[in-house]
Amino acid sequence: MKTYEEINQKIRKGEAVVVTAEEIIDIVEKKGIKKAAKEVDVVTTGTFAPMCSSGAFINFKNSKPKIKAQKAWLNGVNAYAGLAASDIYIGATELSDEDLLNKVFPGSFKYGGGHVIEDLVAGKQIKLKAISYGTDCYPKKEIETVIDIKSINQAILTNPRNAYQNYNVAINKYSDRTIYTYMGILRPKIGNANYCSAGQLSPLLNDPFYKTIGIGTKIFLGGGEGFVYWEGTQHDPSVKRGTNGVVISPAGTIAVVGDLKGMSPEWLKGTSITGYGASLTVGIGIPIPILNEDIAKYTAVKDEDIYTQIIDYSKDYPNGINKSYGEVNYKQLRSGYIEVEGVKVPTGGLSSYEKAREVAEILKQRIKKGRFELTKPVKSLSSGE
């Protein structure tokens, strides 16, 4: 048994043994769970994938005379302004007015909220437009100005649902045409299969019952630091699990927050999804303290032991039908092909495994160098246990 404080003391002294979620697999296979749990202090995880339920609160410096923004746009993308006078929220999937007016299906959406966030983090100038009805204390009715990450008061990445614990494999079973979804382009008659998870590197798959990941957990977020501030929307830990405790369909999620001014455009990428819309690809890494043997066992999970469901996105999913057309593991998915109804089908991943590996390695090095300590959750996520 170890404690957070014991591990943090080792981090401060430069003595902590930190490995990635890939590396712990080999350690457990060679030394066993008992020795691995004793020797390893922290396992780092990572994921880098489109996370549509993302966005940022921005507080711009008010004009003279002042304005109470009721409608606002950032680079032509609508931002929600139903807050205080100079607070706005830009959602990752909001589209620019130009894209909405000129959309040619199934065209590519060129620019949305996710792109605004990336440009802001990259230090680019952003055109701000706001209108108001005017009040005695906020008399100005319209402003058009330019802001950047340095000139605004606060920019807070606030994502209500990220880092999904497992996700569907998407196919187009019934349609005789190509369809365009948030899971990418799906060719007719099961012409391909798309998935979106880092598998054995993914944070919540390494902590299936949320023993260490909870409210207050400090994380790698968008290249900087952030925190889990609540369970994410659509968090559902009650789904069926395998014998290893790992969920076999979409389950847990986390809500995360962090200072956008400390983040990097390398790890926050505005993303255009052909025929569907815009999103934000987010890099998230979460350290898992090895407090006991059970936690060590969970972090040693392998791609071949993580299963998920094949779901039709042409008819079933749009109509709320949750029917599985097979169960596959992530080793099969990452091989490039799976078998669906006796047919060999090519696979494609929306989540970058290589970038997830890089996130886990960066976080590992920050901890080893004493630049990142662990935080004990102040409240656990609901686990369904």
Active site positions, annotated: 137
Q: What does DSSP say about strands 193-195 and 343-349: parallel, antiparallel, or unpaired?
A: parallel
CA-closest candidate to residue 114, choices 222, 202, 226, 203: 222
146 - beta bridge partners? 127
Report whether the peptide linkage leading into residue 139 is cis, meaning its omega lies within 30 degrees of zero.
no
| 361: helix, strand or coil | helix
- Angle made by CA atoms 6, 7, 12, in degrees to the nearest 5: 100
Q: Label residue 13 exposed, middle or buried (CB < 10 Å: 0-12, 13-18, 19+).
A: exposed
Helices (H) and strands (E) in the chain, counts: 7, 26
Query: Which segments of 41-183 are extended strands (E)?
Result: 42-44, 47-50, 55-59, 71-74, 77-79, 87-91, 126-131, 142-147, 154-162, 169-171, 179-181
Q: In whole angstroms, what is the distance from residue 78 CA to residue 278 CA?
A: 13
CA distances (Å), origin 46, targets 92, 284, 334, 354 = 21, 6, 16, 10
Round to whole Å and give the CA distance between 207 and 167.
Answer: 16
DSSP state of 166: S
Sheet-wide strand order for 126-131: 77-79, 71-74, 126-131, 142-147
